[in-house]
Amino acid sequence: MMTCTRRASTRLAALLALTAACTAAPRASDTVVIASGADLESANPLVTIHPLARQVQRYALFVTLARYDAQLEPQPYFARSWQFSPDRMALTLSLVSSLRWDDGLPTTARDVAFTLDAARDPAVGFPRASDLAQLSSVSASDDSTVTLHFSASQPRFPSILCELPIVPAHRLARTPASAMRADSFAVRPIGNGPFRFVRRVAGQRWELARNDAFPAAMGGAPKLRRLIIAVIDEAATKFAGLTSGELDLAGISPAMAPLVARDPLLRVIEYPVLQSYGIVFNVTRPPFDDARVRRALSLAIDRRRIVAVAVHGYGEPSSEAIPSTHPYARASAPESDAAPDTARADSLLDAAGWPLGADGLRHRGAESLTFELLTVGSSDNAAEQLIQSDLARIGVHVEIRQRELASFLAAARATPRHFDALYTGIPGDLSLSYLSAMFDTRFAGSALDYAGFHEPRLDSLLAAARAAPDADARARWTAVQRELDAAAPVAWIYHARGVQGASRRLRGVAMDLRGELTTVAAWYTVQAPR
């Protein structure tokens, strides 16, 4: 363990030495270094699904029209006020007039119109495009006034306006929609948020600096002078960076939380996250084109054991996409959440034509029920190994195949799909409509999109759930979940809780469902306690 930690510390020191060399000075007291488990993928909000990248965009590099408070209620931000028309089919927003892009040009209603129009363009591939399905058009009457026109009356303020950052029309308007993902803006953005982009070293770090010109009406300049996001994928390296003081904030494995808590210079931050883990089956190829096989595998999994062993209790075992703390959660949890049901699993596999052979494996003719489980990482993959053990008990052989993140995402997004099944975390987003990330068939990067599961009946149920008034919403979402119980395109395992190690010199940090960086503009540092 000591050797491992020393090696990790050496790797981290080398990485941060490069950062210091590039900035031509040692790390200042008002510079904070945080860890990201993977490169941020892209700084362009129109194409990104990486969870931390979305937070950097939303809270640091860019601004949204409105923002959530701690109760997830929309509050004014770039839009200082708004008003619906009497029929609630038009929403007019008045914008802050003093916000500028990093190149000095003003941020105007034209940028808002461009952003929303681009997000609605299928060629761009914005992952949350379905949330804008009822947006008919956007018009800017002047630089500080923009009106959104809808095809139907809106029951509430559109949550997407709290979640989609505004991008610069003058920089991206000439980029073809189909080329938006590949545009250099992804790695050299022009922002308008509390922090300015300084530089990126691919696979190593992103550097941001305080935007001293950020309008006082929107909170003013942040307290930190510099924010560095170091790309560190190894748990031991993050832990070593925290204990050495070279990292100020890093996600840690639940197993390391007690070690961090015992360090007088560190503290553990635990908080709710919208991240659900499960097995995504490729329903476009055998054996997972048969719902009976998918349901059988889900029934055989011991979710409580996985949460207790793999994540040390930092999670909620569940076979559903919606956490029990969510207002749309079903009133009673399925039986499979309490204990695996191998008898029912065996019965389903027998009915599907996969009897148990003398060798302890399921067979159909000369073919055995074996599949490859694709996953991300370089660790011991405790959850995957527990799943492998659970399924072996019903005669199903699982081969675990690890990939680094970019390779994993390429396989998950490829058309046609060639993987058998994925074990992955599916990130949600802030509002009640974050359920799109779990099972909306129109949502690029959703669990069901990865599975290749597209059903008109489910689309109809989802549409009804979205349009339902608050009093009926829970019943509508319960109907969605029942449909998914029968189809089982995903075997949900648990809903995660976030665990971060933080230096005690870093203050002003608050984490909740909005994310780790929601208060980044208010972060500040003090001399570390002795």
pLDDT of residue 279: 96
pLDDT of residue 23: 39
What contacts 16, CB < 8 A, 6 or more positions away? Answer: 27, 33, 230, 246
pTM over 0.75: no
The residue segments making up the domain with residue 170 are: 63-175
pLDDT of residue 22: 37
Residue 208 carries which DSSP code?
Answer: E
In tens, the pLDDT along 82-94 reads 999 999 999 999 9
What contacts 51, CB < 8 A, 6 or more positions away? Answer: 275, 427, 515
- Contact indicator for 46, 121 with CB cutoff of 8 Å: no
Residues 437 and 308 in one domain: yes
Question: Is position 113 within any domain?
Answer: yes
In tens, the pLDDT along 460-518 reads 887 787 777 667 777 888 888 888 888 899 999 998 888 999 999 999 999 987 889 99
What contacts 4, CB < 8 A, 6 or more positions away? Answer: 236
Residues 334 and 463 in one domain: yes
What whole-number distance in Å separates Cα of residue 132 and Cα of residue 188? 27
Tell me if residue 214 falls in helix, strand or coil.
coil
Supply 516's token pair. 């780790």
- Contact indicator for 400, 384 with CB cutoff of 8 Å: yes
In tens, the pLDDT along 271-321 reads 888 788 999 999 999 999 999 999 999 999 999 999 999 988 889 898 887
Question: Is position 345 within any domain?
Answer: yes
- Contact indicator for 348, 495 with CB cutoff of 8 Å: no
Residues 162 and 301 in one domain: no
For residue 390, what is the domain's CATH number? 3.10.105.10
Supply 421's token pair. 């099944």
| Ordered alpha helix ranges (H), 59-155 | 109-120
What whole-number distance in Å separates Cα of residue 344 and Cα of residue 340? 9
What whole-number distance in Å separates Cα of residue 130 and Cα of residue 67? 20
- Contact indicator for 136, 172 with CB cutoff of 8 Å: no
What whole-number distance in Å separates Cα of residue 134 and Cα of residue 487? 28
Count: domains in the chain: 2
pLDDT of residue 6: 46
Question: Is position 513 within any domain?
Answer: no
Residues 315 and 458 in one domain: yes
- Contact indicator for 399, 374 with CB cutoff of 8 Å: no
Least confident of 177-186, 352-361, 445-454: 445-454
For residue 124, what is the domain's CATH number? 3.90.76.10
Q: Which of 175, 208, 227 is a domain's end point?
A: 175
Question: Is position 338 within any domain?
Answer: yes
Question: Is position 107 within any domain?
Answer: yes
Radius of gyration of the chain (CA): 24
Residues 277 and 151 in one domain: no
Q: Which of 142, 160, 175 is a domain's end point?
A: 175
What whole-number distance in Å separates Cα of residue 356 and Cα of residue 422? 24
Question: Is position 236 within any domain?
Answer: no
Question: Is position 213 within any domain?
Answer: no
Q: Which of 117, 148, 175 is a domain's end point?
A: 175
Residues 471 and 358 in one domain: yes
In tens, the pLDDT along 102-154 reads 999 999 999 999 999 999 999 999 988 888 999 999 999 999 999 999 999 99
Question: Is position 203 within any domain?
Answer: no
What whole-number distance in Å separates Cα of residue 469 and Cα of residue 156? 10
